C-alpha cells in the first residue's frame, strides 16, 4: 500500500484556492480541491501490517506538538519558473513550524529516510502537458501577477496518514 503523511487544507482555504484556480484559468492537470494537502513525508509502498505501528509511532512522536497557524501566499513552480512542471502555493506564516513538524515526523519513523530537504508547498497543478504545448509568456505573467496573492490562513492541529487510495487516520 502506498502511504504518505500529510496535513490537509481546511475547506474554507481550499475553496479560496478553487475560486482562484477557476478565475485565473490555471493550466495543466489540477489537483482536486478535496485532495489539497501538504505532504510531510512520502513513505511509498509499505505492508498493510505496518499501518498500526506507523499510527502509534505518530501518536507518540507528535503528542507534545502544539497547533499553529499557516498562511498561504503567492505561487511558485518546480523545478523553476522558467521550466515549470508543478505549480504550487507557498507557505508563509507558520512555514518554519511546518518544517519542524515534517522533521519531527521523520525522526519519529525510524525506517524513513528523506532523499532531499523538505520544502513546504501545496501542489495545485501539474504542468507537464501544458508546458509542452502552452505559451511560456502566459506562465511568466501568471507568476508575476500572482506573486503575493493571499489564499488564507488555517490552524494545523492534525497530521493524517493517507494511502494513495484515501484517508487512513
**Tens of pLDDT, residues 34-79:** 999 999 999 999 999 999 999 999 999 999 999 999 999 999 999 8
Which band of pLDDT confidence, cut at 50, 70 and 90, is reported for residue 99? very high
* Annotation says 37 is catalytic: yes
Q: What's the whole-number mean pLDDT along residues 11-16? A: 96
For residue 168, give the C-alpha cell.
Answer: 487512513
Q: Strands, DSSP E only, in 62-145?
A: 68-79, 84-91, 121-126
Q: Are 67 and 155 in contact (CB under 8 A)?
A: yes
Sheet hosting strand 121-126, strand order edge to edge: 29-30, 121-126, 84-91, 68-79, 150-156
How distant, in Å, are the alpha carbons of 81, 104, 147 from that of 112?
30, 11, 34
Which band of pLDDT confidence, cut at 50, 70 and 90, is reported for residue 86? very high
Between 165 and 108, the higher pLDDT residue: 108
* Annotation says 121 is catalytic: yes
pLDDT value of residue 166: 64
Q: Which of 17, 89, 120, 121 is catalytic?
A: 121
Which band of pLDDT confidence, cut at 50, 70 and 90, is reported for residue 155? very high
∠ CA 151-153-156, rounded to 5°: 130
Q: Are 142 and 47 in contact (CB under 8 A)?
A: no
Q: Which of 37, 41, 97, 162 is catalytic?
A: 37
- pLDDT per position as a tens digit, 100-151: 999 999 999 988 888 888 999 999 999 876 655 555 556 788 888 898 999 9
Q: Are 89 and 70 in contact (CB under 8 A)?
A: no
Burial readout 88-114 (b: 16 or more C-beta within 10 A, e: otherwise) = bbbbbebeebbbebbebbbebbeebee
Which band of pLDDT confidence, cut at 50, 70 and 90, is reported for residue 165? confident
Domain 2-167 indexed as CATH 3.90.1140.10: yes
pLDDT above 90 (res 13):
yes
11: left (phi over 0), alpha (psi -120 to 50) or beta: alpha
Amino acid at each position: 500500500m502506498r502511504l504518505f503523511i500529510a496535513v490537509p487544507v481546511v475547506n474554507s482555504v481550499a475553496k479560496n484556492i478553487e475560486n482562484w484556480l477557476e478565475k485565473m484559468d490555471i493550466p495543466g492537470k489540477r489537483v482536486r480541491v478535496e485532495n489539497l494537502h501538504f505532504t510531510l513525508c512520502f513513505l511509498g509502498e509499505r505492508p498493510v501490517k505496518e499501518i498500526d505501528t506507523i499510527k502509534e509511532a505518530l501518536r507518540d512522536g507528535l503528542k507534545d506538538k502544539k497547533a499553529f497557524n499557516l498562511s498561504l501566499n503567492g505561487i511558485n513552480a518546480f523545478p523553476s519558473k522558467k521550466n515549470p512542471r508543478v505549480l504550487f502555493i507557498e507557505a508563509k506564516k507558520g512555514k518554519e513550524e511546518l518544517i519542524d513538524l515534517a522533521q519531527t515526523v521523520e525522526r519519529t519513523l525510524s525506517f524513513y529516510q528523506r532523499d532531499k530537504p523538505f520544502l513546504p508547498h501545496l501542489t495545485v497543478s501539474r504542468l507537464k502537458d501544458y508546458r509542452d504545448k502552452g505559451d511560456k509568456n502566459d506562465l511568466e505573467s501568471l507568476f508575476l501577477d500572482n506573486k503575493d496573492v493571499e489564499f488564507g490562513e488555517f490552524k494545523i492541529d492534525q497530521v493524517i496518514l493517507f494511502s494513495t487510495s484515501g484517508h487512513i487516520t
